[in-house]
């Protein structure tokens, strides 16, 4: 028997289900391209959840190297599958030049970011400030009685024969940075890499145990005693140390190389307003404090503070090293990069 109470309850349930269904239908998904590993873990666990909750949105990471993400964005340029992407600064210059990014909207958060992190015309902006310098196997150095490295040319020291691990310059920003600093030391510039290509094989190249496409194998190679010294960032070193890997960072006297991970909103994406809102949030002190605490992502917003004395010390050291960091000429690099990649693969890694 259907009573008025049952009818009313049924009506309320129907309305509730309809409301829930409507809310579910309105929930949106944003796709963000970025490096996997520490970056993906940091943002999915420590940064994105607050934005997802506040905006009833699901954020899905599309993991890959900067080159991978750029290739995906290029292939889908006419109908973008991603909304925001994180790329190494040099790769981001190429993305902007290819028309893959839309200008970031002016916002209080954008105004708070260091000027040096804002790329030309605000088409992209730094979200993680970094640098490539030298890292070394502290356990091995202590056992051998070796002093910490002080120069990029330490990679060519004969005592490191078959103990240098070098990321491929054709596939990795770390490897490219190290090669270009070697090139500068030999008298070259980003517009003239002949000194580097001419002298690399008979100097650093003689010591290289293995050229690796990225840094994923370094932790294993340090633990097995295969790797003594290699290019890496302070953030990369901190991440390895947190896993118990005995490594330390060393700032070369010639300077480290500025390595900024930048974000851009992808042009013609399906959710432009929400994507811009996410990009602004990721520049906020709140979001960048979470990224620093969760994954040692160095803030571009100076308002972001470290939560522990140890993290504060890391930031202070980082800013000290940034005073001697080198900014590369990415216009010159990108104009010749395909040619360099071919030469590297044929001359150096063959």
Are 74 and 65 contacting, i.e. CB atoms less than 8 angstroms apart? Answer: no
Cα(176)–Cα(95) distance, integer angstroms: 18
3-state SS assignment for residue 270 = coil
What pLDDT does 193 receive? 98
Residue pair 132/166 in contact (Cβ under 8 Å)? The answer is no
Give the span between the Cα atoms of 340 and 292, in whole angstroms. 35
- The predicted-structure confidence for 252-311, as pLDDT tens digits, reads as follows 999 999 999 999 999 999 999 999 999 999 999 999 999 998 988 999 998 999 988 888
pLDDT digits (tens, 9 = 90+) for 296-338: 899 999 899 998 888 888 888 888 888 888 989 988 998 999 9
The confidence score (pLDDT) of residue 63 equals: 96
The pLDDT score that the predictor gives to residue 342 is 96
- For residues 298 and 129, the answer to whether their CB atoms sit within 8 Å is yes
Query: Which segments of the chain have a pLDDT < 70?
Result: 1-26
Sheet strands (E) in 194-292: 208-212, 229-232, 247-250, 257-266
């Amino acid at each position: 028997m259907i009573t008025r109470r049952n009818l009313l309850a049924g009506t309320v349930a129907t309305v509730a289900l309809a409301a829930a269904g409507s809310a579910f239908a309105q929930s949106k998904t944003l796709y963000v391209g970025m490096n996997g590993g520490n970056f993906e873990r940091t943002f999915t666990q420590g940064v994105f959840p607050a934005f997802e909750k506040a905006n009833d949105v699901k954020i899905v990471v599309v993991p890959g190297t900067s080159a991978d993400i750029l290739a995906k964005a290029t292939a889908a340029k006419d109908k973008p599958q991603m909304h925001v992407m994180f790329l190494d600064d040099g790769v981001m210059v190429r993305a902007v030049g290819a028309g893959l990014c839309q200008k970031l909207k002016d916002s209080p958060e954008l105004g708070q970011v260091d000027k040096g992190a804002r790329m030309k015309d605000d088409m992209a902006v730094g979200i993680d400030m970094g640098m490539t310098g030298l890292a070394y196997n502290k356990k091995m150095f202590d056992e051998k009685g070796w002093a910490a490295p002080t120069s990029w040319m330490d990679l060519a020291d004969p005592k490191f024969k078959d103990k240098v691990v070098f990321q491929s310059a054709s596939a990795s920003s770390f490897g490219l940075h190290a090669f270009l600093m070697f090139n500068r030391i030999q008298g070259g510039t980003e517009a003239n890499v002949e000194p580097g290509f001419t002298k690399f094989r008979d100097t650093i190249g003689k010591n290289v145990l293995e050229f690796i496409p990225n840094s994923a194998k370094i932790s294993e190679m340090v633990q097995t005693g295969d790797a003594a010294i290699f290019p890496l960032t302070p953030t990369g070193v901190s991440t390895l140390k947190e896993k118990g890997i005995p490594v330390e960072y060393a700032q070369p006297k010639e300077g480290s190389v500025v390595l900024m991970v930048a974000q851009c909103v992808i042009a013609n994406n399906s959710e432009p307003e929400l994507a811009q809102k996410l990009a602004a949030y990721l520049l906020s002190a709140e979001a960048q404090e979470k990224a620093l605490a969760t994954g040692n992502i160095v803030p571009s917003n100076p308002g972001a503070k470290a939560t522990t004395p140890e993290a504060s010390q890391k930031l202070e050291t980082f800013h000290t090293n940034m005073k001697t960091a080198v900014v590369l000429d990415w216009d010159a690099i990108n104009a010749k990069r395909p040619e360099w990649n071919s030469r590297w693969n044929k001359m150096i890694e063959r």
